[in-house]
Chain A
Amino acid sequence: MAGPVQVVASLNPHATAAILEAPMVEIENLALWYGDKQALKDVSMSVPKHRVTAYIGPSGCGKSTLLRCLNRMNDLIDGVTITGAIRIGGTDIYDPALDVTELRKRVGMVFQKSNPFPKSIYENVAYGPRILGVSQRADLDGIVERSLRAAALWDEVQDRLGESALGLSGGQQQRLCIARAIAVEPDVLLMDEPCSALDPIATAKIEELMLELKNSYTIVIVTHNMQQAARVSDYTGFMLLGELVEFGVTRELFTNPRDKRTEDYITGRFG
């Protein structure tokens, strides 16, 4: 599928886009209810491999909910009903026979608020591999160093791997969470507003990191910062009231939105 990226706009007014790249994640007619309240309405799209895909939209539009469907974190909430299908790498992730922990090992996640474990820096990164059964110290050492280097944190923490992760700055903590997520070498990396609690310098570092990481991972990011989506993502989806209003190549979506609501949002007329 090399060559120029092609986008074929769907005629569906609900603005789904079929993308002619190798899809990593395919979402089909996904709907989700919290109890009686519908949070996602008939979302269909596909996320291409080794690209950064961003969801933007106003608060409460369902973008985080959609993201959390991809590693079934919504399972933890009581009263959630889901219809439709999600396939990652061709596997139906809502298949009842599927082991959800296996899925989550393949789909890593970085949260809005950095959440390192109250353990040492080393143990934070080694946690995932240990769960997977890696127990040789030499193997773990290699994984920790590689992950921290990939998260651009190695130089800052290599002398104090044994210290508590909670002593790091906010930006460092968030990069540690990224290192922790990629230590298990997932196929997909989900990022839920990873920079919302960070200052501009730390944000720039994380964004730089995302561009680096997309060579190895498929990244899906939720952001309420449109500039960030424009800077880092290859594809952007605009969500509103649980619907995926428009999905397409980022530059196209920002310069030439097809839907009036998208245009209103990105030009700041509401939201």
Chain B
Amino acid sequence: MSLASARKLWRSGEPFIWLTGGALALALIMVAGLIGIILANALGFFWPAAIVRLTLRDGKTLAGSVVERERIPGATGSYRIKLKVANRDLYGADFVWVDEPEITERTRPAEVAVIERTEWGLLIGTITALREGDRVIATGPAAWEEARTRLPGTVRLRAEIRRVERSDIGGINYQQERMRLQLRGLELRGVTDGPEVQALRARMTALQERYQEQAARLAALRVRETASLVVTAEGGKEKVLPLAQVLDVYFPNQMGVGAKSVHYVAKVWEFVADDPRESNTEGGVFPAIFGTVMMVLIMSMLVTPLGVLAAFYLREYAQQGTFVSAVRIAVNNLAGVPSIVFGVFGVGFFIYFVGGTIDQFFFAESLPTPTFGTGGILWASLTLALLTIPVVIVATEEGLAAIPRGTREASLALGATKLETTLRVVLPAVMPSILTGLILAMARAAGEVAPLMITGVVKLAPSLPIDGTWPFLHLDRKFMHLGFHIYDVGFQSPNVDAARPMVFTTTLLLLTIVLLLNLFAISMRNRLRRKYATAAV
């Protein structure tokens, strides 16, 4: 192609269209690829995989589910498979690599059970007996039949134990702590004896008695279920598993698609609604969902009024000039500050300074244990509010700039004051822009992890920021967060390989939550737009 015709082609605009289209396509492919990887890894996790029994050339047998298949490095043409054999307590590791040429036989034994239990991850093996203490009650298939009738009882028992631990004993502990603090408060004021102190001491003693009662009750509950399952794992090892530790038993090779679907839905629900187990690698992520959503909501409640008011001053009242321009540039650049810096500021200013001061004035009796002087959901939300305030200010300012001058003049010409004009005309008209800013702020806040790690997020929070004890909303509490959960499970857990699917499911969940929050805000914005039919963005 000659230079002239190349020039002509370029001038026709056609190559530029291809260039722009190509850039968009590339961006879409990358996003779709990311979401595809997350979906592919996350969605399959809860599906009960078939259990295969492999007989190897040396006569050894293994049972487990196939997780991966890859070419053996260095060897041509042969593959190896990664088998999840579970039984960490028996074998030492959850996964085994098996070279395919070593395998002589593959079967799918129907009798192999997958048992979910409270510790050590999954147990895969054949149920051979049910014992009560040392006495064998049933053997073979009858053992499972008998165990199945007993399982609902153990579920109820576990719930009962949990209730006693959490509410009864937890409540007593809480009251004792409050009394201890009251005593300490009195002591700080110089009162070490007298009717008040005596009364508190008497109540403390009464509580101590109640505690002993509950502790005895708990001990009695703990020994009530004495039956245990005997499970034979591949390789002949036997495991005696107390029935009280069994959460769920299923036989994947006996399940049809229908049964597997039911199991899948139940597992998804457990993941969303249950507490985590075994240092977060098993169980659900409910506290993390709760913490994430609550933090985003508190952040929204803090950032929206603050950002909107600041934007109103900048655009409606401030004398436009060099100083205001400088402020505007500074606000915009604030969005580029690394989020960890906001975290450090949150720790230094909110936690140590503000929180420390609050503790000194209002919670002096519990010092040196900090109340607000340590990370908590309030400080984390405030830090994120600071992080996202530029987004809200910029969006609101743009909305204000888009409101025609004539609209304001019309209101003033009717005898409205500037304040009435601002509140009755400008504010409703700029509402969609405020919501746009809020949407962007929420998306940013929900995905942020770094500043949270040092301002109040923990790996495992003992209680939610909202619960039944007064004052119900505990802004000083530490909380769990999905973003941090991903980091913790994926890279800090003792068993990273087993926890990897959790990383993807948690990611998918976080994306879903952000999407839902955004859809909610977008639908609200669209409703407002339709109501006012404004042209303002």
- Contact B407 A115, beta carbon cutoff 8 Å: yes
Of the candidates A76, A104, A116, the one whose C-beta lies within 8 Å of that of B414 is A104
* Interface majority SS (helix, strand, loop, mixed), chain A: helix
- Chain A, 25-71, CB within 8 A of any chain B CB: 71
- Contact B407 A101, beta carbon cutoff 8 Å: no
Against B, the Cβ 8 Å flags (1 = close, 0 = not) of A114-150 are 0111110000000110111000000000000000000
Q: A173 CB to closest chain B CB, in angstroms?
A: 11
Q: A168 CB to closest chain B CB, in angstroms?
A: 10
- Contact B413 A184, beta carbon cutoff 8 Å: no
Of the candidates B416, B531, B534, B535, the one whose C-beta lies within 8 Å of that of A101 is B416
- Contact A164 B414, beta carbon cutoff 8 Å: no
User: Which residue of the partner chain A has the closest CB to B417?
Assistant: A101
A239 interfacial contact with B, CB 8 Å: no
B532 interfacial contact with A, CB 8 Å: yes
- Contact A115 B404, beta carbon cutoff 8 Å: yes
B411 interfacial contact with A, CB 8 Å: yes
Of the candidates A102, A108, A113, A127, the one whose C-beta lies within 8 Å of that of B411 is A127
Which one of B410, B412, B429, B535 has the greatest number of beta carbons of chain A within 10 Å? B410
- Contact A117 B407, beta carbon cutoff 8 Å: yes
CA distance A130 to B416 in the complex (A): 10
Contact flag A102-B406 (CB < 8 Å), given A117-B425, A119-B532: no
B409 interfacial contact with A, CB 8 Å: yes
- Contact B413 A108, beta carbon cutoff 8 Å: yes
CA distance A13 to B534 in the complex (A): 51
Across-interface contacts of B416 in A (CB, < 8 A): 101, 127-128, 131
A85 interfacial contact with B, CB 8 Å: no
A15 interfacial contact with B, CB 8 Å: no
- Chain B, 71-121, CB within 8 A of any chain A CB: none
Q: B434 CB to closest chain A CB, in angstroms?
A: 14
CA distance A101 to B425 in the complex (A): 16
CA distance A217 to B429 in the complex (A): 31
Against A, the Cβ 8 Å flags (1 = close, 0 = not) of B515-535 are 000000000000000011111
CA distance A132 to B415 in the complex (A): 8
Interface residues on A, range: 20 to 34
Against B, the Cβ 8 Å flags (1 = close, 0 = not) of A90-117 are 0000000000011111001101010111
- Contact A180 B414, beta carbon cutoff 8 Å: yes
Interface residues on B, range: 20 to 34
- Contact A115 B409, beta carbon cutoff 8 Å: yes
CA distance A62 to B412 in the complex (A): 21
A181 interfacial contact with B, CB 8 Å: yes
- Contact B532 A180, beta carbon cutoff 8 Å: no
CA distance A33 to B535 in the complex (A): 35
* Interface majority SS (helix, strand, loop, mixed), chain B: helix
- Contact B411 A76, beta carbon cutoff 8 Å: no
Of the candidates A104, A119, A164, A177, the one whose C-beta lies within 8 Å of that of B415 is A104
Across-interface contacts of B429 in A (CB, < 8 A): 117-118
Against B, the Cβ 8 Å flags (1 = close, 0 = not) of A165-186 are 0110000000001001100100
B428 interfacial contact with A, CB 8 Å: yes
B163 interfacial contact with A, CB 8 Å: no
- Contact A105 B414, beta carbon cutoff 8 Å: yes
Across-interface contacts of A102 in B (CB, < 8 A): 415
CA distance A177 to B414 in the complex (A): 11
B420 interfacial contact with A, CB 8 Å: yes
Across-interface contacts of A103 in B (CB, < 8 A): 415
Q: A29 CB to closest chain B CB, in angstroms?
A: 25
Q: A183 CB to closest chain B CB, in angstroms?
A: 8
CA distance A73 to B411 in the complex (A): 11
Across-interface contacts of B531 in A (CB, < 8 A): 164
Of the candidates B406, B410, B412, B415, the one whose C-beta lies within 8 Å of that of A76 is B412
- Contact B410 A117, beta carbon cutoff 8 Å: yes
Across-interface contacts of B536 in A (CB, < 8 A): 118
Contact flag A180-B533 (CB < 8 Å), given A118-B429, A128-B415: no
Across-interface contacts of A73 in B (CB, < 8 A): 409, 412-413
CA distance A260 to B158 in the complex (A): 105
Contact flag A111-B409 (CB < 8 Å), given A117-B425, A118-B428, A119-B532: yes
Point out residues on B near A: beta carbons under 8 Å.
404, 406-407, 409-417, 420, 424-425, 428-429, 531-536
List, sorted by A's number, 20 A–B pairs whose CB atoms are closer than 8 Å.
A71-B413, A73-B412, A102-B415, A104-B413, A104-B414, A105-B415, A108-B414, A109-B413, A115-B406, A117-B429, A118-B534, A127-B411, A127-B416, A127-B425, A131-B424, A164-B531, A164-B533, A167-B533, A184-B414, A184-B415
New A-B contacts (13) at CB < 8 Å, excluding given A101-B417, A118-B428, A127-B424: A71-B413, A103-B415, A108-B414, A113-B404, A117-B407, A117-B410, A117-B429, A118-B536, A127-B425, A128-B415, A166-B534, A177-B410, A181-B414
Query: Would you list the 4 A-B pairs with minimal beta carbon distance, nearest first?
Result: A105-B415, A115-B406, A164-B533, A118-B532
